[in-house]
Amino acid sequence: MSSIRLEGVTRTYGRGPAAVTPLHDVTLTIEEGEFFVLLGPSGSGKTTLLNLIAGIDRPDAGKVLVGGTDLATLSEGALADWRAEHVGYVFQSANLVPVLTAYENVELPLWLHRMSSAERHKKVEMALRAVGLADRAAHRPKALSGGQEQRVAIARAIVADPRVIVADEPTGNLDHESAEGVLELLVRLNRERGKTVVMVTHDPRAAAYGTRRLFLDKGALGEVPAALAAALSPAQEVQA
């Protein structure tokens, strides 16, 4: 069974002459265990598609199915519960709570689940070890580098052990070295833990880490343009 399936999805914001349709009749299948990358210019609808997959937004037409669940059939409360269990979201900015430690930031999603404090502690420690930051658990965001903050954000996204990780320009605010570290971490989560990763980016260097890539522009999906595909680094493709 495919992990993610969009069937004839359309999403429009606004009405009348001011209406904008970032997605129009989009059909897409992402198989379980893929590292799927969506490229496209700013404003092309990449984040809208990601938010639909994550259950943050709903389509005006069509279906979004994740792991066999038709998200349109869920109430708002049920959708929030489903999202907390099945999807981890990594944003372009780490969006950490500045007054909380790395440990406490990672722990936040677990308060939505019924579990003992000992179980929460075990999951947070495992997530921080997975991103190589067990020794930074007591540090607040201001004491971390940009790359470390983003790795804490990834730990927060995986702490509840979701099957799907969605990442919206996760390296957009990072220097080259930090970006490589974050991308290699996503590759490990995909390969070693079997996570389905869906990442949107406009950077061909980041896109090179994926196992499959498509291009979104003016609401429609297509193959990556030849000029952009040529910018993908063969070295990165082998590494990924």
Digit-coded pLDDT (tens) for 130-149: 999 999 999 999 999 999 99
Residue 58: the pLDDT is 95
Q: Which strands make up the sheet holding 220-222, listed edge to edge?
A: 87-90, 164-168, 196-201, 35-39, 212-217, 220-222
Q: Tens of pLDDT along 27-85?
A: 999 999 999 999 988 888 999 999 999 999 999 999 999 999 999 999 999 999 999 99
The CATH number fitting domain 4-239, selected from 3.90.1150.10, 3.40.50.300, 3.60.21.10, 3.40.50.1820: 3.40.50.300
Average pLDDT over residues 161-189: 93
Query: What mean pLDDT, rounded, does the chain reach?
Result: 91
Question: pLDDT at position 167, please?
Answer: 96
Amino acid letter, residue 231: A
Q: Whole-model pTM?
A: 0.90
Could you give the dihedral angle defined by the CA atoms of residues 98, 99, 104 and 108, in that order, rounded to the nearest 10 degrees? -70
Euclidean distance between CA atoms 96 and 27, whole angstroms:
34
Structure-token pair, residue 120: 């929460």
